[in-house]
Amino acid sequence: MAVYNLENEQIRISVDTMGAELRSLRKKATDTEYMWDARPEYWKRISPVLFPIVGSLNNGSYRCDGREYPMSQHGFARDMEFELREQTGDSLRFVLRATEETKERYPFDFELELGYRLCGNDLAVSWKVTNCDDREMYFSIGGHPAFLCPIGGRGVQTDYKLAFDTDHTITSGIIGDGGTLSERTKTFALTDAKMDITADLFDEDALIIEHDQAHEVSLCDPDGVPYLTVRFDAPLFGVWSPAKKNAPFICIEPWYGRCDRETFTGDLSEREYGNKLVPSETFYAEYTITV
């Protein structure tokens, strides 16, 4: 296990080979840290990659080619050691390949590459998934970065707001008791494209915002000024903080996949928002964090 550092004139990052996880994002001019610090009383992670599933499966397993496979929430990549593939003056690339251990839970030969690239105040986080098998491969992938809120000792979390690149209301799916998507939804009014962060906002777990409702989400300080923005092309995203813990961070999570519906009984190939690759094909996506 090793930690790699990268910086330009504006920002500095640290990435751990365990899970290829972003551990720190710091603005150099003010020495401001933006990432959560993984204190276990709230949440022991900082920015895990979600692969080869996003969210939870019905009964903790899925079916593929007539066989049932167990899989814990968000998959296994976040708990595996990645290898440094390349480091340049402005980028880091890490790779994870299928093993006999992964095939017990996910029966495909794959290669997963995570990349980090600096450009001014922007950090681009990329995913590259390659099907190294001789058959079609199905997967989901997503990010789960946790950002400090409040930040810099300014106020309390309920002084802050979420801002979106839309003036419409935001409708969220609701996660049920089993960690899967219920039939209920909740609609949030926006004022000047902003949503209040209330004390009970995450009492029913993550907000699941589907159907391309927004592609830019910002955390705004007590003055209403954005201090961090996440931009993405993903068709859905999550917003999360641990329920009823008053945790000092909020996750903004671009997803290409999500948890099962409570009523889902299909095969891995039939999961909503799932991705398919033919042999030797590659999937690529990225999101950008701006501070």
- pLDDT at res. 169: 96
Question: What would the CATH number be for the domain defined by 3-290?
Answer: 2.70.98.10
DSSP letter assigned to residue 280 = T
- pLDDT at res. 92: 98
Identify whether 52 is preceded by a cis peptide bond (ω within 30 of 0): yes
- pLDDT at res. 258: 97
CB neighbours of residue 231 within 10 Å: 17
Domain boundaries, the chain: 3-290
Phi/psi-derived region of residue 227, left when phi > 0, alpha when psi is between -120 and 50, beta in every other case: alpha
- pLDDT at res. 1: 84
For 218-274, the DSSP string reads: EEE-TTS-EEEEEEE--SEEEEE--TTS--SEEEEEEEE--PPBTT----GGGSTT-
Mean pLDDT by 10 residues, the chain (291 residues): 96 98 97 97 97 96 95 97 98 98 97 98 98 98 98 96 96 93 96 96 96 98 97 98 95 98 95 97 98 97
Backbone angles phi, psi at 155, to 5 degrees: 65, -160
- pLDDT at res. 177: 83
- pLDDT at res. 178: 87
Torsion of CA 269, 171, 213, 113, to 10 degrees: -50
Q: Give how far Cα 40 sits from Cα of 59, 147, 157, Å.
A: 26, 15, 19
Which structure tokens are listed for 125?
């986080």
Greatest C-alpha distance within the chain:
56
What predicted TM-score, i.e. pTM, was given to this entire model?
A: 0.97
Q: What single-letter amino acid sits at 55?
A: G
Cα angle 102, 107, 108; round to 5? 90
CB neighbours of residue 24 within 10 Å: 18
Identify the three-state secondary structure at position 278: coil
For 191-221, the DSSP string reads: BTTEEE--TTTTTTS-EEE-TTS-SEEEEE-
Backbone angles phi, psi at 190, to 5 degrees: -115, 140
- Alpha-carbon distance 194 to 147, whole Å? 18
- Alpha-carbon distance 60 to 222, whole Å? 40
